[in-house]
């Protein structure tokens, strides 16, 4: 029996456990990365481990999220990150150098390597044949300290691509089709592996768009073969030596196979407020558009921007549309400039933003009240844009350009009727490369003094799992609750290293009084309990969605199902993640009910079922837990840092 790409890479990196589907394995991480929104807390946790230097092939700290510096907080955090990088042997990518996923693909991604990033869109690296996984910051900190990353050995779904994309249809439409097929739930513990003759028709930037948004399906990661297209891309980056061929064996066995004929695809859109709400652009055309944003880690490559530049050449942005572009990297901006793309876009009336995440995380370019905003980014959760009632649609660069020209949602194929020809973009055989915005660490950083601004605190204290949890259902939420619902992104993230302050915004967009209620319950000596529906914890890897509730006294989350990264983060910070054995029991519970969970340590150790009593309703119900022995030990200790030696402050 042959091996899949996923198996070939994972099996070479397993340091604990066996490659048996559904069981926990620990894998060696070659390349960890952080970004500033999650990195500050990750490095505070790394410091708490008392490790003298990172123990990986390469570790990189990117500054790409909170670069809008209103107030001192973000600038202070960036200085902290730079000093930590110098002290511990980490490469530092300065603000303005670009978005971590785009830059890493360009300058560091290597086929066959493992990449762990404190950002849920780290699977972008699968576009060059890496096993690239998003995780919470604490898991990344452990990897930097030389520890394994623990994961469930995955099921592998083969997505067999045939045919070739037609003009005006692009890679974004491929991944939107994948989302239409698989939805945003039910894919935990799975890897999407792309194969088939259609693969060779897609460039690395196109592949990266597809692997990037696989995160919205909830999969562990997505991966493409490393082939001649990969070699061509790496050669253009001056990194041909990093290329190795990686492909699945002909007799490899997959758990599931899905066929997608690229020739049959048409322009698609994810409609508000989920990446899984897929419709054909033809079905929604004619809606007037207020804003179009091109960029984010999903669609900000040279190919994406040059495609739109050529479409816009000699044209003007519609007077009712605000058109904003955020290039994925300094390299992208420099190379489109050399090819005349920048001047074409400026002449058309484009507004250029920094080479950062910006609008994607609601940290700039929030649209007007009730706006229709078309974006090439990867998430359109309610309120994520910074405007709660904005209607955000996720579309391809081609569909975005069509709206910029017409002022309304338009099938880009209809531009042919207006005399447009679909541009053919050739990836440069050699990119212009300038790595001067990477700061390399000194050989010995022991004398480096770490900068700590007044907004930077310590990782908050967690407590061991008690014998019993007597608590109040502080909030009951529905299905598909994202980490943005739990703890907001955007401007609030400047408090990411100040947990007491950031905790004031937990569940802000659902219940602005949550933190006040939680603190009052905590003061009575009872715990806070969260009850959720299907796919609780979708979205970002931001571990603050676990740290801040933990700080407020949350000790248990009970949901119909939980997403992978958030569940791991809950465990890391001593919050027990439980699932209803019978989903109908969700209906029994109401907000403010008093719940009682007894004999937790003993039941966890024995692997026995847990029964919860709703004292308010005088009813009981059973819950399940999917926890490895390692995770049980973490929970009993009150979190990973506690287990590693009680170094949580």
pLDDT one-digit tens code per residue, 163-177: 999 999 999 999 999
The span from the CA of 638 to the CA of 578, in Å, is 16
Query: Got the DSSP string for 319-343?
Result: TT-EEEEE-SBHHHHHHHHHTTHHH
Which residues have C-beta within 8 Å of that of residue 571, sequence separation ≥ 6?
Answer: 577, 627, 631, 634, 635, 640
Q: Does the structure show a pLDDT above 60 at 307?
A: yes
| Residue 528, pLDDT score | 97
Helix (H/G/I), strand (E/B), else coil: 469: strand
Among 521, 580, 547, which Cα is nearest to 118's?
547
- Give the chain's mean pLDDT: 94
329-363 tens-digit pLDDT: 999 999 999 999 999 999 999 999 988 887 888 77
Q: Does the structure show a pLDDT above 60 at 406?
A: yes
Q: Does the structure show a pLDDT above 50 at 203?
A: yes
Give domain 5-264's CATH number out of 3.30.43.10, 3.40.50.970, 3.30.499.10, 3.90.380.10.
Answer: 3.30.499.10
Superfamily of structural domain 276-418: Aconitase, domain 3 (3.30.499.10)
Query: Which CATH architecture is the domain 469-639 placed in?
Result: Alpha-Beta Barrel (3.20)
* Mean pLDDT across 244-269: 98
Q: Answer positive or negative: Cα dihedral of 46, 49, 50, 55.
A: negative
Burial class (CB in 10 A: 0-12, 13-18, 19+), 324: buried
Residue 98 pLDDT level (bands cut at 50, 70, 90): very high
Query: pTM (2 decimals)?
Result: 0.91
| Residue 649, pLDDT score | 35
Tokens standing for residue 35: 């970004």
- Cα 162 to the chain's mean position, in Å? 28
Q: Does the structure show a pLDDT above 90 at 442?
A: yes
Residue 384 pLDDT level (bands cut at 50, 70, 90): confident
Which residues have C-beta within 8 Å of that of residue 634, sequence separation ≥ 6?
Answer: 571, 572, 574, 640, 643
Per the model's pLDDT, the better-predicted residue between 179 and 462 turns out to be 179
The number of helix segments (H) and strand segments (E) in the chain equals 21, 27
Residue 646 pLDDT level (bands cut at 50, 70, 90): very low
Q: List phi, psi (to 5°) of 558.
A: -115, 120
Query: Domain boundaries in the chain?
Result: 5-264, 276-418, 469-639
**Alpha-carbon separation of residue 103 from 66, 134, 139, 379, 636 (angstroms):** 17, 16, 22, 20, 39
State what percent of residues in the chain have pLDDT above 70.
Answer: 99
408-440 tens-digit pLDDT: 999 999 999 999 999 999 889 999 999 999 999
Say yes or no: do domains 5-264 and 276-418 share a fold. Answer: yes
Contact (Cβ atoms closer than 8 angstroms) between residue 28 and residue 270: no
State what percent of residues in the chain have pLDDT above 90.
Answer: 84
Q: List phi, psi (to 5°) of 189.
A: 80, 20
Q: Does the structure show a pLDDT above 90 at 627?
A: yes
454-509 tens-digit pLDDT: 888 887 878 899 999 999 999 999 999 999 999 988 778 788 888 999 999 999 98
Among 82, 108, 106, which Cα is nearest to 93's?
82
| Residue 209, pLDDT score | 97
66-97 tens-digit pLDDT: 888 788 888 999 999 999 999 999 999 999 99
Helices 564-572, 629-637: axis angle to 10 degrees equals 50
């Amino acid at each position: 029996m042959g091996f899949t790409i996923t198996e070939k890479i994972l099996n070479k990196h397993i340091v604990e456990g066996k490659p048996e589907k559904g069981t926990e394995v620990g894998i060696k991480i070659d390349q960890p990365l952080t970004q500033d929104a999650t990195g500050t807390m990750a490095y505070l946790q790394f410091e708490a481990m008392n490790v003298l230097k990172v123990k990986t092939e390469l570790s990189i700290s990117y500054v790409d999220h909170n670069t809008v510096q209103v107030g001192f907080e973000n600038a202070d955090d960036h200085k902290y990150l730079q000093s930590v990088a110098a002290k511990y042997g980490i490469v530092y990518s300065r603000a303005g150098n670009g978005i971590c996923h785009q830059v890493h693909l360009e300058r560091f991604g290597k086929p066959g390597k493992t990449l762990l990033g404190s950002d849920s869109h780290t699977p972008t690296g699968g576009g060059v044949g890496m096993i690239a996984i998003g995780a919470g910051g604490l898991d990344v900190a452990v990897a930097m300290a030389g520890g394994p990353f623990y994961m469930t050995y995955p099921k592998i779904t083969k997505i067999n691509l045939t045919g070739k994309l037609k003009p005006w249809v692009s890679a974004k439409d491929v991944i939107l089709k994948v989302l239409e097929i698989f939805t945003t739930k039910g894919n935990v513990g799975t890897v999407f592996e792309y194969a088939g003759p259609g693969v060779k028709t897609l460039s690395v930037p196109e592949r990266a768009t597809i692997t990037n948004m696989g995160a919205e399906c909830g999969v562990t990661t997505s991966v493409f073969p490393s082939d001649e297209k990969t070699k061509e891309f790496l050669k253009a980056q001056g990194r041909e030596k990093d290329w190795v061929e990686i492909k699945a064996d002909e007799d490899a066995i997959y758990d599931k196979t899905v066929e997608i004929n690229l020739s049959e695809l048409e322009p698609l859109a994810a409609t508000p407020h989920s990446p899984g709400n897929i419709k054909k652009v033809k079905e929604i055309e004619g809606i007037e558009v207020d804003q179009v944003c091109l960029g984010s880690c999903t669609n900000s490559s040279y190919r994406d921007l040059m495609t739109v530049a050529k479409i816009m050449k000699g044209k003007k942005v519609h007077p009712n549309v605000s058109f904003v572009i955020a290039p994925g990297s300094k390299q992208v901006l420099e190379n489109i400039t050399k090819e005349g793309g920048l001047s074409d876009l400026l002449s058309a009336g484009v507004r250029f933003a920094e080479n950062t995440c910006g609008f994607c995380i609601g940290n700039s370019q929030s649209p007007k009240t009730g706006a229709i905003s078309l974006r090439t980014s990867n998430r359109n959760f309610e309120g994520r844009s910074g405007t709660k009632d904005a209607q955000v649609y996720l579309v391809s660069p081609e569909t975005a350009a069509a709206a910029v020209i017409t002022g309304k949602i338009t099938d880009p194929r209809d531009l042919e009727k207006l005399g447009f020809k679909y541009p053919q973009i050739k990836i440069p055989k050699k990119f212009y490369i300038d790595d001067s915005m990477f700061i390399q660490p000194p050989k010995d950083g022991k004398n480096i003094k770490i900068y700590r601004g007044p907004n930077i605190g310590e990782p908050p204290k967690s407590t061991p799992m008690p014998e019993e949890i007597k608590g109040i259902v502080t909030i009951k939420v529905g299905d598909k609750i994202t980490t943005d619902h739990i703890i907001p992104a955007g401007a609030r993230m400047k408090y990411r290293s100040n947990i007491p302050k950031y905790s004031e915004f937990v569940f802000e967009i659902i219940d602005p009084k949550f933190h006040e209620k939680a603190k009052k319950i905590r003061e009575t000596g009872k715990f806070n309990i969260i009850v959720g529906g299907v796919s609780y914890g979708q979205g970002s890897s931001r571990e603050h969605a676990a740290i801040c509730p933990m700080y407020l006294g949350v000790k248990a989350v009970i949901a119909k199902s939980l997403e992978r990264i958030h569940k791991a983060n809950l465990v890391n910070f001593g919050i027990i993640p439980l699932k209803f054995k019978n989903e109908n029991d969700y209906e029994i519970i109401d907000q403010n009910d008093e719940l009682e969970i007894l004999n937790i340590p003993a039941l966890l150790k024995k692997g026995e079922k847990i029964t919860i009593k709703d004292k308010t309703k005088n009813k009981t119900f059973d819950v399940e837990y999917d926890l490895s022995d390692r995770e049980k030990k973490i929970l009993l200790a009150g979190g990973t840092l506690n287990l590693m030696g009680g170094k949580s402050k």
